[in-house]
Structure formats: structure tokens, C-alpha cells
Amino acid sequence: MRLSYSYALEAKALSVFYGDNKAVDEVSYGFKRNKVTAIIGPSGCVKSTLMRAMNRMHDFVPEVKIEGSLWYESEDIYDQRANPVLVRKKIGMVFQKPNPFPKSIAKNIVWGPKINRMSKNYKELIESSLKRAALWDEVKHRLEESALSLSGGQQQRLCIARSIAMDPDIILMDEPCSALDPKSTASIEELILTLREKYTILIVTHNMQQARRISDEVLFMYEGRLVESGDTEQMFENPRIGQTHDYIRGKFG
Ligand SMILES: Nc1ncnc2c1ncn2[C@@H]1O[C@H](COP(=O)(O)OP(=O)(O)OP(=O)(O)O)[C@@H](O)[C@H]1O
Ligand SMILES: [Mg+2]
């Protein structure tokens, strides 16, 4: 039990193993509330593996083992007593490729709250979630149409709206713009900056300009370890470690 907590989420010596292979190597970091934290690093440095550990997504993969702790509010989410369903409700996730359900726009929003029996005014929930995800004006007259009829950028905003409908505190985003064109990317970036007022956001990105535009803090990962972290401006302007400098300047990865 942790009596006081100043971070939205805090990893303490968090390691993730695939079988005997230690992929994430003792990462410790406090993710600040109502901030956007970007996780950067070359392909294969374990960004997605780390992010999936943040809401117990690895539970579904038998060969994965987790060590260390991950504190959300007063609880280590890997404690035996923690409820993984509740963890995933409060720590939502948006993936690289938009993955709406092949159902109507409206059903995409209410599906999670209904199976979790969150007693709600569903009409109001649909409107408020879509508004928060900056999608309402584009879809309000076609809520019963298939989500698959939306553009990629709209589908990604729908996936963000779907996670918002669960009333999360934290939203994890793993390269949410990598399948989108520049215009849709710009609308998601703008959205992320408004979401920060209410949610804590962790985003994995390969796009250095994007990290710089939207994040408050940056974590640079390399070969499973957290190499350097800090304020975004400082990380880009004046990183302490040569590896960070070289990666940010595009010298590798
Ligand atoms: N289910 C799995 N079983 C075994 N190894 C895995 C599994 N998933 C990922 N890995 C390995 O873990 C390492 C990190 O993968 P991960 O997907 O976390 O990297 P990443 O930093 O997100 O890369 P990218 O930028 O390409 O998305 C890789 O070497 C990968 O092969
Ligand atoms: Mg990845």
C-alpha cells in the first residue's frame, strides 16, 4: 500500500520477460497527471511491450512474466488483489491501426459501458464521448451507420471516443497516427492537447516533431532500458546523454 501518490502512474523497477528473455529492463518512472508523456526509441527497443504492461494487456500472453510494480492510485496493479478489468477501464488504450468494431458508430461507444454494466444515459454518453473526441459534428447525423464507413482518421477518433466512454483516467496510445495521413494526424494531435486537461496521456511515437509538438515529457528507450527522460524542451534542446542526442538528431534508429 502506498499512502500518498503524486503520479498518475508510477513504474518501479518494472521488467517484462518474454520467456527467459528480459525485454523491459527495470524501468522506473513517475508519469505526471494531466500531462502528455511521449515514449520514443528505435524499433524493437520495447516501447509497445512497456506500454502493454501499463494496463495488464500481457495477461493474455502466457509466456510473459512481469517483475517490479506499477502503481495506480494506492494500488500496485500487479498485486494479486488488483482487478484487471477495473485496471483496463481506468487505463484505456488506443492502438496503431484504428480498430473499431464492425458495428454502428453508436454501438462502438456503448459496447464497453454496457458489458461493464455502467448505469448510464447512453444517448448522453454517445454525445459526450464523441464531442470529447472531436468527432460529434462529423457523425451526429449518421450514428447508426457502420463505423467501418468512416475515414481512417475518423475511425481513430472513434477509438479514442470509445475509450473515453469507459471514463478512464489514463489513455495509452501506441503510435496512434502512424496509419493516418497528415491532415488526420494534425486533428489527432490537436485532440490530444485538449484531452490533456482531463486525462493523463502516454503516447508512443516514431515522429520526433510530433513528440516535440504534443508532449510535456519524453522517455528515450534503448535496448529495453530507459536511457534518459525529462522535460520535452530539455530533451530536444539539451539532452544529457549522447545516445539520446544522436537518436533525436536522426543518427540511428
Ligand atoms: N509476444 C512476443 N513474444 C516474444 N517476443 C516478443 C513478443 N512481442 C514482442 N517481442 C519482442 O520484444 C522486442 C520489443 O518489441 P516491441 O514491439 O515492444 O518494440 P517497439 O519498440 O514497440 O518496436 P516498434 O517501434 O517497431 O513498434 C522485440 O525484440 C520483439 O521481437
Ligand atoms: Mg511498437
**pLDDT tens, residue by residue, 190-229:** 999 999 999 999 999 999 999 999 999 999 999 999 999 9
Residue 119 has pLDDT above 80, yes or no: no
Average pLDDT over residues 141-146: 98
pLDDT tens across 150-160, in order? 999 999 999 99
Q: Ligand 2 centre from 50 Cα, in Å?
A: 9
Residue 120 has pLDDT above 80, yes or no: no
Instruction: Look at residues 106, 113, 183, 117 and name the one whose alpha carbon lies nearest to residue 145.
Output: 106
Residue 242 has pLDDT above 60, yes or no: yes
Within a 10 A sphere around the Cβ of 144, how many other Cβ atoms?
Answer: 9
- 61 ligand 1 Cβ < 6 A: yes
Instruction: Look at residues 95, 65, 77 and name the one whose alpha carbon lies nearest to residue 169.
Output: 77
- 45 ligand 1 Cβ < 6 A: yes
- What is the rounded distance in angstroms from the CA atom of residue 24 to the CA atom of residue 66? 9
Mutate to test the pocket of ligand 1, among 18, 97, 175, 221 (most ligand atoms within 8 A of CB): 18
- What is the rounded distance in angstroms from the CA atom of residue 158 to the CA atom of residue 65? 32
Yes or no: say if 235 and 218 are a contact pair by the CB < 8 Å rule.
Answer: yes
The pLDDT, as a whole number, for residue 57 is: 96
The pLDDT, as a whole number, for residue 250 is: 92
Residue 2 has pLDDT above 80, yes or no: no
Residue 41 has pLDDT above 90, yes or no: yes
Total length of the chain = 253
| Those residues with Cβ within 8 angstroms of residue 193's Cβ, 6 or more apart along the chain or in another chain | 36, 214
The pLDDT, as a whole number, for residue 4 is: 52
Domains of the chain: 9-248 (3.40.50.300)
Which residue do the cell numbers 479514442 mark?
160
- 23 ligand 1 Cβ < 6 A: yes
Closest residue to atom 26 of ligand 1, CA basis: 43
Return the ligand 1 atom nearest residue 19 CA. 4
